[in-house]
Chain A
Amino acid sequence: DAGVTQSPTHLIKTRGQQVTLRCSPKSGHDTVSWYQQALGQGPQFIFQYYEEEERQRGNFPDRFSGHQFPNYSSELNVNALLLGDSALYLCASSLDSGLRNTEAFFGQGTRLTVV
């Protein structure tokens, strides 16, 4: 059973550019959440997708956008990159069973460096 897979693993971009990160959830999962983890910090919630719509969002600017496809995979897009966007981007998948103890499984992350 493949777990959560993310691509690419590493990426270097220039300030002002745009980037797209991809995530395939664990088999059977229908909900995808994205987190940003700056060096030495804990992950911070960016947003969550369910049924191809953004269901909730953390405190991130509109430069951060996403998409979920019918097969539940997801993309994270960041426009007008800033140096401060350099971080590990983590995708987490879970199953919306209506229960409050939804368990999230994380991918290995995409390390984005903005120069």
Chain B
Amino acid sequence: DAKTTQPPSMDCAEGRAANLPCNHSTISGNEYVYWYRQIHSQGPQYIIHGLKNNETNEMASLIITEDRKSSTLILPHATLRDTAVYYCIVRVQIFTNAGKSTFGDGTTLTVKP
């Protein structure tokens, strides 16, 4: 799996957009970008994933650069409950053992009132 680089921590004001960057400069053409988050002492929660195009769902938006070497997760209106560690992962599809998710250190997002 490609290595990803994320800032260790970020703060965001409640109600504002949170923009979390991720660098994955060695991503391969068949690797997807996934975002998960982990609230303290819980299992990771899936947020969103994409290959080339920007994606949006009820939780967040994912913006992937044209060269696919970086991406940004956007939480449009952050709430206190969005305080968590956010992980950016790149991996191939899970057909074989190659499709495993390797977690880096993630970004600790703190949403402040």
A binds B: no
